[in-house]
Amino acid sequence: MVWSLQKTPELTDLQFEQWNKLLEERTGIQVSAHQRSFLQLQIAGRMRELGIKYFSEYFNQVSSGLQGMVEWSILVDRLVVKETSFFRHRDSIESIRQLVQNRINNQDMTESFEVWSLGCATGEEPYSLAMVINDCFELAGLEPYYGITATDISQPSLQSAREGMYGKRKLEPVTAEERARYFKTLDETGESYQVSDKLRDRVCFSHGNVMNLGEMPMVKMDVIFCQNVLIYFRRWRRREILNELASRLKPGGMLVIGLGEVVDWTHPELQRLSDERIQAYVRS
Ligand SMILES: C[S@@+](CC[C@H](N)C(=O)[O-])C[C@H]1O[C@@H](n2cnc3c(N)ncnc32)[C@H](O)[C@@H]1O
């Protein structure tokens, strides 16, 4: 029988455990029992493309060797949640505008303003940050002096982020003014847009797994922005990652996470901002 006509194979309990463990070890992401069918569908879909019949055979393939790593990077892109949007949480993004404006007003912008967006998906988050930061420099009549490093585990997302091309609907959260300043239209009908070169030149997209922060060289950051990533991780792991991120901030640097993503975390060198609309911490 042709593979495509066969029923999607079912993961046994043991196989589900195995795949779940592999995914969590490698990405930190935990799949709950009610997401089992999603996991099964994605894995089986990829097996179908490769003509592999058995979960065990595919499991062995992705768990070993260089070829396995290549295959893993294809699969992982299908297993992660990549939902994102421009200005997904406006208040958090606007808190960075405030920080940059204060620095400029206090003439405290002697070095490049460095931002790290972790789990940047297809780029909407780092480009939103770039828009507000760029605004501040331009409004003050200053030459923009900032850089954004944006990392993610998904290679296809990073590729699309680098291109910076988005359909009209994606731009709905962007104001008309922001659209005019920071996007160019790619067709006459106004259906597709590209982020302007002046922003794209400021954002460097790079592959990075939050589970391997030790391999990432970002230090002395002015801002670390990590939203809607840790939510898929176990609580103890979220705290460990945040402790590491705290150490990558400059004094006066700010860590911004998703509101409510971590409830029981404090750090001796960080102080939470009193603004309850955001979850942001400043390093002393
Ligand atoms: C739901 S999206 C959030 C995107 C953006 N931060 C936002 O809030 O709109 C989660 C992103 O985290 C990435 N991700 C998941 N696990 C990761 C890991 N271990 N290391 C790096 N990125 C990861 C996914 O690939 C995905 O692009």
Instruction: Output the six-digit token pair for 139.
Output: 């409004």
CATH label of the domain that carries residue 49: 1.10.155.10
The confidence score (pLDDT) of residue 4 equals 54
Residues 118 and 258 placed together within one structural domain of the fold = yes
Q: 111 and 19, same structural domain?
A: no
Asked if 100 and 113 count as a contact pair (C-beta separation under 8 A), the reply is: yes
| 223, 124: one domain | yes
Among 32, 49, 79, give the residue marking a domain's end. 79
Expressed in angstroms and rounded, the spacing between residue 209 Cα and the centre of ligand 1 is 9
Are residue 52 and residue 119 in the same domain, yes or no? Answer: no
Q: Compute CA 187 distance to the chain's CA centroid, rounded to the nearest angstrom.
A: 28
Q: By residue range, what is the domain housing residue 57?
A: 3-79
Residue whose CB lies within 8 A of the most ligand 1 atoms, among 25, 26, 80, for a mutation test = 80
CB-CB contact of 78 with 46 (8 Å):
yes
Q: What does the pLDDT look like over 35-80, one tens digit per residue?
A: 999 999 999 999 999 999 999 999 999 998 899 999 999 999 999 9
Residue 196 belongs to domain with CATH number? 3.40.50.150
Question: Does 275 lie in the same domain as 141?
Answer: yes
Q: What is the count of structural domains for the chain? A: 2
Task: Among 18, 44, 79, give the residue marking a domain's end.
Answer: 79
Helix (H) / strand (E) element for 8: namely: none
Residue 254 CA, chain-centre distance (Å), reads 17
Tokens of residue 130, six digits: 């770039």
- The predicted structure's pLDDT at residue 2: 53
- Please list the rounded mean pLDDT of every run of 10 residues in the chain (284 residues): 64 95 96 92 96 95 92 96 97 98 95 98 98 98 97 98 98 97 93 97 98 97 98 96 98 97 95 97 98
Helix (H) or strand (E) holding 249, with range, is strand 249-257
Query: Which residue in 120, 115, 126, 135 sits closest to 178, CA to CA?
Result: 135
Nearest to 165 by CA among 196, 135, 188, 134: 196
pLDDT at 178: 98
Report yes or no: 234 and 205 within 8 Å, Cβ to Cβ: no
Is the Cβ atom of 227 under 6 angstroms away from ligand 1?
yes
Any ligand 1 atom below 6 A from CB of 73? no
| Whole-number pLDDT of residue 141 | 97
Q: Could you tell me the distance, in angstroms and rounded to a whole number, from the CA of residue 198 to the centre of ligand 1? A: 25
Asked if residue 85 is part of any domain, the answer here is no
Same domain, 178 and 264: yes
Atom of ligand 1 nearest to the CA of 27: 19
Q: Cα 193 to chain center, whole Å?
A: 21
125 lines ligand 1 (CB under 6 A): yes
Rounded Cα distance between 167 and 209, Å, is 28
For residues 109 and 44, state if they share a domain.
Answer: no
> Is residue 206 within 6 Å of ligand 1 at its C-beta?
no
Alpha-carbon torsion 43, 47, 52, 57, what sign? negative
Distance, CA of 175 to CA of 83 (rounded, Å)? 20
Query: Looking at residue 58, what is its pLDDT?
Result: 97
Same domain, 167 and 41: no
Do residues 197 and 233 both lie within one domain? yes
Contact (CB, 8 A) for 126 and 203: yes
Side-chain-side CA neighbours of residue 251 (13 Å): 2
Same structural domain, 207 and 108: yes
Q: Is the CB of 211 under 6 A from ligand 1?
A: yes
Contact yes or no for 122/187 (Cβ under 8 A): no
Same domain, yes or no, for 230 and 205? yes
Kindly report, residue by residue over 199-216, the tens digit of the pLDDT.
999 999 999 999 999 999
Q: Cα dihedral sign for 240, 241, 246, 247? A: positive
Which residue matches tokens 């055979």? 57
Question: Are 57 and 114 within one domain?
Answer: no
**Residue 107 C-alpha to ligand 1 middle, in angstroms?**
34
Of 49, 79, 109, the residue that ends a domain is 79
Q: Which residues contact 7 (CB under 8 A, 6 or more apart)?
A: none
Closest ligand 1 atom to 211 CA: 19
Q: Is residue 84 part of a domain?
A: no
Find residue 207's DSSP bridge partners. 152
Q: Is residue 139 situated within a structural domain?
A: yes
